[in-house]
Structure 1
């Protein structure tokens, strides 16, 4: 899995690392730096695949950002839609990012075998993801209505939120599910590192499919009576799906649902809180639409980088290569150094490409250097939190007998939905855009 530019980039990184390591070794200086550079060189395949996946993800989520920038009229017409949008995107990424991580671990442990069937490892995991998608769509609407009511923000009716959320979830989940299965089969065939490529590509497909799906959902609202009936039917369907998933699903699917639901409730709250921050600054974002364009690629990149870290830590915990200690050991810190490498390259790309995309479309922008500064400052704040949340989510879940694949990625991505928006606001205030 390599493209010509990415192969050239990783070859250049490897070429720069070798003489640097040799120079440090001869002079016995900065042993920690030498160890980090050696780790990067050993993991150059992961670096290559991770950077390629991040590049694809940033490119796709820029399109999502452009869609969000073009939704300014709809966002003003339907108050509360901006509250729901990042939460819906984050929920797709959390559910299917965790699915990708479980499948990646299943590949390493030999659990993915034979044809697809309901009782197979792949079949039970996809069933659980489908049930979780429907249930959490209604959950998102309820959390959005409740929090906006507490905060005094204007929002459309609860049943309208349910309809938009459920239709958006069903349509986007079909797309992302197809991407996950195709990616898993390809990774199995070509021996790609699912932990390195899974979350960035899955998050990107969630971003690009969720916003158009939500827009389609808005077409179904309008008549108050029809919306009320349809909305409550969807609530009932979600309740039935919950009972079925917790009582009738097979063992693996039931465990995934049981362990995921509490975490996804946290995901819903974090996503809606992120949306309320955006709703509160809606006028600023609409007036400088490039900032609105930056939201999906920044949040997706944060979740993807955290997802790579979480997926790798989860696999290494399963394999006994990382110990679940209260203070991270050296193997965990080395994994964290890869996270920093991905972050520096990823956030610089997000800032520059966001400005270029906005300029091409005639959107207002604070300028190339201010935009890069905003995203990079926000990104460096975010990467510290990514490591802390990623490490402790993975090790704590493993310590208490839970599957880190069910817990750590949703916790990281959902936390970054909210905290990432706050970091982006800090970046905007720091640069003064």
Structure 2
């Protein structure tokens, strides 16, 4: 027992020293994107309703593709398959592939939205989605590589910090980029079309110089298949968000906090998935009920009350600064948030473990699956909390 207590103390110390700061930074970044969403939610719902169907999928896709890439880089660094340098050719190649992997699913989401009858400004929405995806994927790709390699060089476990920072940076960039292209479209169609052309040329240029080959794309067909399937699954979140956007907006805080809540759940799940994947590849887990992964979950669970309180605090502050209102603390969220995060971490570990037992690499499947499922669970969770606050 003393050995277990000592191990737990060490992991709790690491969770507070390494993971918690990255989760807090991630939360702050997420609220920046949430400020844009809360401010423009009514406009998007009125003028570009199709974006609400695509938005959860786009946000999840960033986490799916780039958190997976971060986990893959981490495993490659530990195994010596990747030089800890941004100049390694594998870095650019992985970024170019990730950009391609990001484009196809969001285009499919747009097409399904059109088929479901959401055709108002359909072409404009497609161009906004394509342009923002290329731009955000390029920036996020290098950010992912930098964070992972920098942490590795500083002898900090990349699995503890990369996924939260990458997913939240995706949230930070995704919503403002979408809104920026919408405002550009409304202000100058010529510049909007020109920017689309420049970004498509950039994508083709990167694919060319990185020499991405068909065989390399086929190696990631498992990842491509799962993120496309999960993008389709994200339509549950998308149509749910579209239907209940008014309820979420009426709850005030949740309109601003929505991206942060989703990303924080995804972050907790991704940290556990990344740690589990690395430990499994290194042979450090010998059974489902191994002690180490559950100690990791408990140590991270002890940080969740802080994140729940900060979500409330940041939401109240932003609502006051943007809208001039003083909403109450959402005690329903404060009390339930830690247990929702615990459920997602246990779910994450279980999925990662059993996928590995089936000879499926968790880096390619578990993290995308968990990120997507966290968005669905998180969207339902936010709506339930909104119903408790607003009623209906």
Please give the TM-score of this superposition, normalised by the length of structure 2. Answer: 0.85
SS in 2 for 1:406: coil
What residue number does 1:188 align with?
A: 152
The correspondence for 1:156, drawn from 120, 126, 145, is 120
Contact 1:163 1:220 in 2 (8 A): no
> In the TM superposition, what are the counterparts of 1:110-125 in structure 2 within 5 Å?
110-113=80-83, 120-125=89-94
SS in 1 for 2:360: coil
Query: Measured at CA, do residues 285 and 111 of structure 1 come closer, stay the same or move farther in structure 2, by a change above 3 Å?
Result: same
Runs of 5+ consecutive residues of structure 1 not aligned to the other structure: 1-23, 26-33
The correspondence for 1:106, drawn from 61, 76, 79, is 76
| Most deviating of 107-116 and 70-79 | 107-116
What residue number does 1:206 align with?
A: 170
Q: Tell me the distance in 2 between the aligned counterparts of 1:47 and 1:141.
A: 40
What residue number does 2:276 align with?
A: 313
Contact 1:305 1:343 in 2 (8 A): no
Q: Report the structure number with the largest CA radius of gyration.
A: 1
Contact 1:65 1:297 in 2 (8 A): yes
What residue number does 1:393 align with?
A: 351
Contact 1:187 1:193 in 2 (8 A): yes
1:265 matched to 2:224? The reply is: no
SS in 2 for 1:80: helix
1:352 matched to 2:313? The reply is: yes
The correspondence for 1:87, drawn from 57, 63, 67, is 57
Query: Measured at CA, do residues 103 and 308 of structure 1 come closer, stay the same or move farther in structure 2, by a change above 3 Å?
Result: same
Q: Tell me the distance in 1 between the aligned counterparts of 2:284 and 2:376.
A: 31
Q: Tell me the distance in 1 between the aligned counterparts of 2:240 and 2:372.
A: 15
SS in 2 for 1:403: coil
Query: Measured at CA, do residues 214 and 49 of structure 1 come closer, stay the same or move farther in structure 2, by a change above 3 Å?
Result: same
SS in 2 for 1:405: coil
Question: Aligned-residue CA RMSD in angstroms?
Answer: 3.3
Query: Measured at CA, do residues 375 and 64 of structure 1 come closer, stay the same or move farther in structure 2, by a change above 3 Å?
Result: farther
1:130 matched to 2:99? The reply is: yes
Query: Measured at CA, do residues 215 and 360 of structure 1 come closer, stay the same or move farther in structure 2, by a change above 3 Å?
Result: closer
Q: Tell me the distance in 2 between the aligned counterparts of 1:43 and 1:136.
A: 38
Q: CA deviation at 1:74?
A: 2.0
Query: Measured at CA, do residues 365 and 156 of structure 1 come closer, stay the same or move farther in structure 2, by a change above 3 Å?
Result: farther
CA deviation string 1:245-295 (max 9, x = no partner): xx9626555422x01112112321233221221211122223333221010
SS in 2 for 1:112: coil
Q: CA deviation at 1:187?
A: 1.5
CA deviation string 1:169-205 (max 9, x = no partner): 1121122112112213322321221101101110111
Contact 1:61 1:300 in 2 (8 A): yes
Q: Tell me the distance in 1 between the aligned counterparts of 2:250 and 2:103.
A: 35
SS in 2 for 1:192: coil
